[in-house]
Structure 1
Amino acid sequence: MFEVPITLTNRKFAQRRKLKYQYINYISRRFDRISKKSTTTDSLPTPENSAAENNDEEEGQNSEVGAYRRSVLQQKKRRRERHWRSVVGEIYSTTESETDSQEEEAEEGGEHDTGIDKEDSDEERKFWKKYEKPEKSFEIWRTVSSQNKQPINKQKMTYHNFKKIEKIPLRKMEIPLLHCTKENKLYFQSISRGLEPLKTSTSEVRNYRTRHIVTLTDLLHLNVSRHNWSLAYKIFATLIRIPGVQIKSLWGIGVEILDNLSNSSSGLDFLQWMCQIYSSKSRFVQNINYRSIVPPFQTGSRTHTAKFAITYLWSSLINCQKSMEPSSNIIDKPFDTENDLLQELIDKISEWVLTPPFMEDAEVWFIYASCHLLKADTLSRQFVNDNKNNDLIGLDRDIKINQVIKHIHYVRTFLKICLDKGGFAVPSRLIENQLKSFESRLYGEAQDIQERDVANVYDSIDNSSVENSFGDVYETNAEFLDTQLMDLSPEDNGLDEMHYSDEDSSE
């Protein structure tokens, strides 16, 4: 009933995957040849009415019409050649598909002669080589915002053209199907016609261990849906100890059980253990024929971070933010910058992004910037109640100010790297406002005191309007007055005015 966390690698299922990817590669190659494309795209063809239409699609209609006209002219030319060959009695290909198959074989022979496909002999590896990340194998419809709307990558096709494209790949699949079992032949016929087999890969398994795994998986999901966390934890602990079970397929439900179960280790520790065991720095050997799912899709790679690693980083950041709330009285206790949880998280991420192989995922860089943002917030919060505690004075205050400025600089730098990587939206204006508020905490208290003193000095003086020599009247405030008189008493101000009046009379 539920997805089983195992990968069957016997001969039957390996043969099924080989037939499927071989057929897909033949179809893609034939489609690219018909549509006159030199390179394959990174997205799948989209149906005509799959999403909202955009007016930008009209720009590419001229090129599509030109390609269609060229294909029609070529078909007419081939019919004319076959007709005249039949008139003169020459031997010719009786069907158009045979001519196309000969041209296809000639092109494949040229590719093999040049050595293009020597390295990619595996059909499954050849298919996944086109997609750098898993999400690139799906269609992306940007129809929510009008600014981010892009023309849909689609190709209109008639049923006649589809059958024409499908005819040669089906003919090429006849030879591999001769060496397959009857069950695999039925499986291929069903998927080639767009049907989905009712029997899954584990429904007919007669192995006792596999049947136990299927039963435990069903019981695990049922107890989680009923919030029976104690029994679900026992099933989960039993399931991950069975050989052949992929923990990378069960980590999500395991974290949910550990977070809701009392008197047990937290899910954050389990995620940390997952990141240590299934590291993204492990080397992927291309020469090995992996029968299971492509390793980067589960363990992560240089450009694709595994989901459990991203979940671990976000959970750790939220945990650090909760431990540094104002209710924890951070101002009164000494702040240790080397042994706190946030510094450990910063060191962990810096190990991922600054040591080879370098992590190039934009989301990791955004989390890295968020850690420094939280660090700057925590350090700048110490200056809010500085006048009450009188803890930061002299050199210690200058050191703390430099630390806050350093983390603010890191936030701006890492956000720029995140935007350069692309593929991740960042609230730049909100973050910039927060950074400005952090900077105002460093000197905001002293400026408030200075302005308050200036206002008190001139409260007793009634000079709301001053008339200049040109007869213009200006409304003056305390902030526009001479700041040199700020520290002088009223008696000193009177003596100073008398001194200037004596100098004017002498002149």
Structure 2
Amino acid sequence: MFELPVSSNITINAFNLKKLRYQYINDINAKHNELSKNELPTPVTSENDTGGEDLDGDSEHNLTSEDAEVAQERRIRRWKSIMGEAIDDDEDDNNHDDDVDNEFEDNGPTDEEKKYFLRYDKPQESFEKWESNNLKRQRHVNKNFITYYRFKKTRKQIDKKYKVKTMHLNKNVKNNFELMIDGFEPINDNNISRNRNLQNYNKHHLSLLTDLMYSNIFKQKWDIAYKCFTFLLRIPDVDIRRVWNLGSIILQNIDTTKLIDFLQWLSNVYSNKNRSFVQGINYRNDQTNFNGGSRRLTPLYTKTLLWHKLTLSSDSETCESEIDSLIEQIAEMVVIPPYSEDNEIWYIFALCHLVKADNLSEKLYFMSRRNPEVDEMDTYPYDTEIYNNKITICINNCKKYLRKATQDKNFDYPARTIETKLKTIETRTFDFESMPE
């Protein structure tokens, strides 16, 4: 019924093999199109191939400067082939590669799979067009037709290029790629029947536990839901980042300290500090922002941890020590991205200083009420000066971090409520003469 919290089984070798397959097909198609343009036009195909234009090809009055240069190079190669001049294969391959790369960099996506499907996913061309004029009902020449000689010639040039590309790849990927381009299908270990039965049994057990956990959460039977959650974490191939939100709800209703420890463990294990290398290669199977975060997006379980720590520290008796430790933790986080670029992290940082200033002002207020005369306590003026300096620093930091949080205009927060609270703290701190005895 519910989505299974299973991690993706796509390996790096499978990803590289898939990328090579689409890239190989795209290169063969581009080379075939280039060879088709360079061949001599015949009386039957000249009008259809050139679109009713002359031999010079493209109409340059509709082209930009870069497109005109590409068209000029293609025209030169075409006239050389017509005049019988030999064209070097390496030069032809280099020019072709530059043309294809520039074409896709300027006008198309960088993903090879998207390049492949862009040639076929055209719904506007699937509708049947009715022509009233009989002369226009002529069937065009099938340009997709290719002879075996042309295919061997095209593939020979592409295979020479891919020998260099596959030199640094894994041996299994290279062998599977060679089998695939020869027309064979590589068999994975997942297709074996005994592994399939074991996998189905694990998935069946996993689906039962997932349904039980969801149903007990809806019924608010937190003890049974907690047992199902602990069993899920012990099953292989279960990604804990897919069920961390359910686990936080269960732990919040059972024990808040366990919730803090669980979120802290998630932030330490799946931290962004270890991602100093290329994430697109080593973390291509990572979860989204809700589940795992990225180098530019803060994971939500880290934000949830900071919010829970802030609310618990403001309500506890040892507020000063806990809020100081939270400020130190966030101060270390905002040094590096993605935390330094997250507006919500800066907003939580500002609220921490606001809570600290509020607690210090309340402590100073009750201390002044308890000791109305200075002579009764010699250290009272010294403590007052220290508290005033701390409160001033906290208020200035709160305002500074709020300005950083509002650099993005899409970020909203209750500005009027925070300004009212800051004015209350300033009034309570610096108006000792107006306070009643």
- State the TM-score bracket (shorter-chain normalisation): 0.5 to 0.7
Q: Structure 1 residue 2: deviation in Å?
A: 3.7
Aligned length: 324
CA distance in 2, matches of 1:295, 1:386: 51
Partner residue of 1:435?
422
Alpha-carbon shift at residue 108 of structure 1 (Å):
8.8
Q: 2:349 aligns with which of 368, 374, 384?
A: 368
Q: Give the C-alpha shift of residue 435 in structure 1.
A: 2.4
Matched, 1:314 2:307: yes
- 1:243 aligns to what SS in structure 2? coil
**Structure 2 residue 5 is the aligned partner of structure 1 residue 18:** no
Task: Name the residue aligned to 2:30.
Answer: none
Alignment pair present for 1:260 and 2:247? no
Looking at secondary structure, tell me which structure has more helix per residue: 2
Map residues 465-484 of structure 1 onto 2, 5 A cutoff.
none
Which residue is 1:57 aligned to?
none
- Cα 1:441–1:107 change in 2 (3 A) is same
> Which digits, 9 at most, give the CA deviation of each residue in 1:321-379, with x for residues without a partner?
3x16xxxxxxxxxx86653x32332233234346x799524332321111011111222
Aligned pair partner of 1:348 in 314, 317, 329: 329
**Structure 1 stretch displaced more, 386-395 or 252-261:** 386-395
| Percent identity (aligned) | 27
Cα deviation 1:129-165 (Å, max 9, x = unaligned) = xxxxxxxxxxxxxxxxxxxxxxxxxxxxx969x9x9x
**C-alpha spacing 1:108/1:251, structure 2 compared with 1 (3 Å):** same
Counterpart in the other structure of 1:444: 431
Report the CA distance shift for 1:417/1:23 in structure 2 as closer, same or farther (over 3 A): farther
* Residue in 1 that maps onto 2:229: 236
Cα distance in 1 for residues equivalent to 2:238 and 2:397: 42
Contact kept, 8 Å, 2:251 with 2:259, in 1: the verdict is yes
C-alpha distance in 2 between matches for 1:292 and 1:212: 28
In structure 2, the CA distance between the partners of 1:308 and 1:358, relative to structure 1 (3 Å rule), is closer
2:261 to 269, 277, 291: 269
Instruction: Report the CA distance shift for 1:103/1:84 in structure 2 as closer, same or farther (over 3 A).
Output: closer
* Structure 1: stretches of 5+ with no match in the other structure: 30-65, 94-98, 111-125, 128-157, 185-202, 325-334, 450-507
Q: In 2 relative to 1, CA 108–373 (structure 1 residues): closer, same or farther, beyond 3 Å?
A: same
1:380 aligns with 2:361: yes
**Quick one: structure 1 residues 244 and 284, their matched pair in 2 at CA, closer, same or farther if it must change by over 3 Å?**
farther
TM-score, normalised with respect to structure 2: 0.55
In structure 2, give the amino acid aligned to 1:378. Answer: N
Q: For each residue in 1:257-289, what CA deviation from the matched residue of structure 2 results, as whole angstroms up to 9, or x when unmatched? A: 22234x686523321232344344336555996
Q: Which residue of 2 aligns with 1:484?
A: none
Q: Give the C-alpha shift of residue 438 in structure 1.
A: 1.8
Q: Which amino acid aligns with 1:7?
A: S
Q: Judging changes above 3 Å, is the alpha-carbon distance between structure 1 residues 290 and 249 closer, same or farther for their aligned structure 2 residues?
A: same
The structural deviation recorded for 1:429 is: 4.8
Deviation, 1:255, is 0.7
* CA displacement 1:73-101 (0-9 Å, x = unmatched): 567657765775576456799xxxxx997
The Cα of 1:237 is off from its aligned counterpart by 0.7
Paired position in structure 2 for 1:402: 389
Q: 1:402 to 1:104 in 2, by over 3 A?
A: same
Contact 1:302-1:360 within 8 A present in 2 as well: no
Q: What is the root-mean-square deviation in Å for CA atoms of aligned residues?
A: 5.3
Q: Which amino acid aligns with 1:380?
A: S
| 2:296–2:337 CA contact under 8 A, matched in 1 | no
Correspondence for 1:216: 209
Which runs of no fewer than 5 residues in structure 2 stay unpaired?
A: 28-60, 103-109, 112-120, 126-143, 145-153, 163-173, 188-194, 375-379
Q: TM-score, normalised by structure 1?
A: 0.49
Distance in 2 between the 1:69 and 1:237 partners? Answer: 63
Contact 2:275 2:295 in 1 (8 A): no
Distance 2:310 2:256 in 1: 21
Distance in 1 (alpha carbons) for counterparts of 2:78 and 2:247: 69
- Label 1:213 to 1:285 Cα distance change in 2 as closer, same or farther (>3 A): farther
Contact in 1 for aligned 2:313/2:319 (Cα 8 Å): no
CA distance in 1, matches of 2:300, 2:101: 42
1:410 deviation in Å? 1.9
